[in-house]
C-alpha cells in the first residue's frame, strides 16, 4: 500500500476510534447523571468546560503540533481521553459537579487536540503526495485540490456519523454493562488504538522541519483569507448550536411530549445523516469540483432561508393546544431540520476544505488550530444563547437568531478569495 494512503487510513482510523468514545462519553454522562438526580441545568454545566477549553486548546494545539509533531499531539489527545474516562469510574460520592466538569475539561482538550491533528495530518500527507507527483503543474494543482476536498470530506463526514453512532454506543453500554464497566471498556479500547497508531504514524508528521522555532504569536494567523474564514466559521456553528444544543431537545420534551429515547434517537440520526452528507459533499458539488469562497457564500445565504422558513411555519401554528397543531409542528420541525442538516453539512465540508487549501504547508497545524478555535468559540456562544433565548423567546426566537447568524456568515464570505491562491 502506498505510504501516504496508509498514513491517511491510520490517521482516519485513530480519529474514528476517538470520535466513538467522544459521542459515547457524552451520552453516558447525560443519562447517568440524570439518573443520579442532577437537574437539567447541572447536567448542562458539566459540559461548559468541555466547550470552553476547546477554544484554548485549538489556539495552543496548532503551535504544539508544529513544535512537537502531529503524531505527538494526536496521541496526547488520546491519552487525555483515556484519563478522562477513567476519572469517572470513581464512586458516586466523588462525582461532584466540579469533579465531573474537570474530567469533561480534559475530554474537551483531548477532542480538539485529536481533531486538529487529524485535519492537519491529512493536509500534510496530501502535501507529500503532491511533492512526488509527476503530473504537469496545472493538472497537478487541480487534481490535488479535488483530492484534498474528497479526503477531508470523508474524514469530517465519517467523524460526525460515528459521533452519532457513539451516542447509541454510550446508551447501549450503559444499559448492558453499567456506567463504570462501560467507561473501562471505552478507555481500554482507545488505549489499544493509541498504541497501534503511535507506532504506525510517522513521528515527524507535521513537525516544523526548518531550524526556526515556531513562535507562539504565530498561532494568530496573519493571512486574511484564514481570518475571514475563521470569522465565518464562528457564525456558521453558532447558527446551528443556538437551536440544536438546548432549545431543540427541551422543545421536543416540553411541547411535543417526546420521551428521552425518542429525543436521543432523533439527535443521533440527525448527526449521522449530517455526517453522511458531509462525506458525499464532493459528489454533490461535482460541477464545482474545487469549492471557493463564492461557493461558501452562496451556501450560507441558502442555509439562512431554512431556519427563517421553519420559524415562519411554526408561527402559523403557534397555538399548540390541539393534537392537529402538534402533528403539524412535528412535521414542520423534523422535515425542516433535516433539510437544514443537508445544506449545513455541505457548507461545513466546504469550510473544512477551504481552511486546508488556504493554510501554509509549514504552518498548517497553527492555521487549522486558529480556525477551530473560532469554531469552538461559535459553539460555546451558540450553546449559551440557546438556553438564554429559548427561555425568553422559545424555539422560534432561536431559529430567527440562527437565520441572522447565517446572514452574517454569508456577508463575511464576501471577503473570501474567489480563487484559491494557496493550495496543497
**Of 401 and 418, more confident:** 401
Residues 379 and 273: their CA atoms lie apart, in Å, by 20
Q: Which domains does the chain have, with CATH numbers?
A: 3-206+223-413 (1.20.1250.20)
pLDDT confidence tier of residue 203, bands split at 50, 70 and 90 = confident
Q: What is the mean pLDDT of residues 300-307?
A: 97
What's the rounded Cα separation, in Å, for the pair 127 and 107? 30
Q: What's the chain's Rg over C-alpha atoms?
A: 21
Tell me the pLDDT band of 208, cut-offs 50, 70 and 90. Answer: low
The top-scoring range by mean pLDDT among 151-165, 174-188, 206-220, 264-278 is: 174-188
Cell of 213: 522555532
Given this model, what pLDDT does residue 103 score? 93
338's grid cell: 433535516
Confidence of residue 307 (pLDDT cuts 50, 70, 90): very high
Model confidence at 411: pLDDT above 60: yes
Q: How far apart are CA 110 and CA 79, in angstroms?
A: 8
pLDDT at 134: 47
Residues 6+ apart with CB under 8 A from 46: 29, 33, 38, 97, 100, 101, 104
- Looking at per-residue confidence, does 83 or 222 come out higher? 83
Tell me, what's the pLDDT at 304?
97
Mean pLDDT of the chain: 80
Phi, psi of 24 (to 5 degrees): -65, -45
- Residues 353 and 420: beta-carbon distance below 8 Å: no
Tell me the DSSP string of 295-351. Answer: HHHHHHHHHHHHHHHHHHHHHHT---SSHHHHHHHHHHHHHHHHHHHHHHHHHHHHH
Question: Residue 127: helix, strand or coil by DSSP?
Answer: helix
Mean pLDDT of 192-198: 91
Res 397: pLDDT: 94
Say if residue 309's pLDDT is above 90.
Answer: yes
Q: What local confidence, expressed as pLDDT, does residue 343 receive?
A: 95
Q: Provide the pLDDT for residue 422.
A: 45
Q: Answer whether 86's CB lies under 8 Å from 140's CB.
A: no
pLDDT at residue number 402: 97
DSSP assigned state of 98: H
Q: Is the pLDDT of residue 178 over 80?
A: yes
Between CA 23 and CA 128 the distance in angstroms is 32
* CA distance to 228, 350, 407, 415, per residue, from 224 (Å): 6, 18, 20, 9
Q: Are 191 and 82 in contact (CB under 8 A)?
A: yes
Report percent pLDDT > 70 for the chain.
Answer: 79
Quick one: which of 193, 174, 167 has its CA closest to 88?
174
Count how many Cα atoms sit within 13 Å of the Cα of residue 267 in the half-sphere of its side chain: 28
DSSP 95: -
Q: What is the pLDDT of residue 39?
A: 67
Which band of pLDDT confidence, cut at 50, 70 and 90, is reported for residue 138? very low
- 3-55 confidence digits (pLDDT tens): 667 777 788 788 889 989 988 888 888 778 877 877 656 776 777 888 788 88
Give the Cα separation of 220 and 172 in Å (integer).
Answer: 42
How would residue 408 be classed by pLDDT, with cut points 50, 70 and 90? Answer: very high
Is residue 36 within 8 A of residue 95, CB to CB? The reply is yes
Q: Tell me the three cell numbers of residue 234.
A: 464562528
**Highest mean pLDDT range out of 64-73, 145-154, 230-239?**
230-239
Helix, strand, coil percent content, the chain, rounded in steps of 5: 85, 0, 15
Residue with the bigger pLDDT between 378 and 355: it is 378
C-alpha–C-alpha distance, residues 18 and 5, integer Å? 20
Q: Output the pLDDT for position 36.
A: 84
Separation of alpha carbons 373 and 113, rounded Å: 11
Contacts of 17 (CB under 8 A, 6+ apart): 189, 190, 193
Amino acid at each position: 500500500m502506498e505510504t501516504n494512503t496508509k498514513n491517511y487510513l491510520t490517521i482516519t482510523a485513530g480519529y474514528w476510534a476517538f470520535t466513538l468514545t467522544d459521542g459515547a462519553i457524552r451520552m453516558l454522562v447525560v443519562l447517568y447523571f440524570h439518573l443520579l438526580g442532577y437537574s437539567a441545568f447541572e447536567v448542562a454545566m458539566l459540559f461548559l468546560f468541555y466547550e470552553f477549553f476547546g477554544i484554548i486548546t485549538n489556539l495552543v494545539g496548532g503551535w504544539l503540533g508544529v513544535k512537537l509533531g502531529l503524531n505527538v499531539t494526536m496521541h496526547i489527545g488520546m491519552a487525555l481521553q483515556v484519563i478522562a474516562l477513567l476519572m469517572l469510574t470513581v464512586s458516586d460520592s466523588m462525582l461532584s459537579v466540579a469533579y465531573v466538569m474537570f474530567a469533561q475539561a480534559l475530554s474537551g482538550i483531548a477532542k480538539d487536540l485529536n481533531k486538529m491533528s487529524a485535519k492537519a495530518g491529512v493536509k500534510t500527507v496530501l502535501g507529500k503526495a503532491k511533492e512526488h507527483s509527476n503530473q504537469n503543474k496545472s493538472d497537478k494543482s487541480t487534481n490535488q485540490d479535488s483530492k484534498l476536498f474528497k479526503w477531508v470530506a470523508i474524514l469530517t463526514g465519517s467523524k460526525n456519523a460515528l459521533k452519532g453512532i457513539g451516542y447509541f454506543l454510550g446508551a447501549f453500554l450503559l444499559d448492558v454493562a453499567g456506567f463504570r464497566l462501560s467507561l473501562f471498556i471505552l478507555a481500554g479500547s482507545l488505549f489499544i488504538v493509541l498504541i497501534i497508531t503511535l507506532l504506525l504514524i510517522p513521528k515527524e508528521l507535521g513537525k516544523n522541519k526548518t531550524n526556526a522555532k515556531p513562535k507562539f504569536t504565530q498561532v494568530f494567523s496573519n493571512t486574511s483569507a484564514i481570518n475571514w474564514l475563521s470569522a465565518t466559521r464562528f457564525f456558521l456553528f453558532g447558527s446551528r448550536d443556538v437551536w440544536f444544543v438546548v432549545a431543540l431537545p427541551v422543545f421536543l420534551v416540553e411541547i411535543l411530549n417526546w420521551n428521552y429515547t425518542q429525543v436521543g434517537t432523533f439527535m443521533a440520526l440527525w448527526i449521522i445523516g449530517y455526517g453522511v452528507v458531509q462525506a458525499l459533499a464532493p459528489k454533490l458539488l461535482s460541477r464545482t469540483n474545487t469549492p471557493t469562497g463564492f461557493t461558501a457564500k452562496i451556501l450560507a445565504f441558502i442555509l439562512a432561508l431554512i431556519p427563517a422558513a421553519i420559524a415562519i411555519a411554526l408561527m402559523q401554528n403557534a397555538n399548540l393546544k390541539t393534537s392537529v397543531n402538534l402533528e403539524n409542528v412535528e412535521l414542520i420541525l423534523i422535515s425542516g431540520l433535516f433539510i437544514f442538516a443537508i445544506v449545513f453539512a455541505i457548507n461545513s465540508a466546504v469550510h473544512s476544505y477551504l481552511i486546508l487549501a488556504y493554510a501554509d504547508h509549514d504552518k498548517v497545524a497553527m492555521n487549522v488550530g486558529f480556525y477551530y478555535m473560532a469554531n469552538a468559540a461559535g459553539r460555546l456562544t451558540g450553546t449559551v444563547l440557546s438556553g438564554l433565548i429559548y427561555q425568553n423567546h422559545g424555539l422560534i426566537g432561536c431559529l430567527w437568531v440562527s437565520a441572522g447568524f447565517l446572514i452574517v456568515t454569508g456577508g463575511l464570505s464576501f471577503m473570501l478569495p474567489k480563487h484559491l491562491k494557496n493550495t496543497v
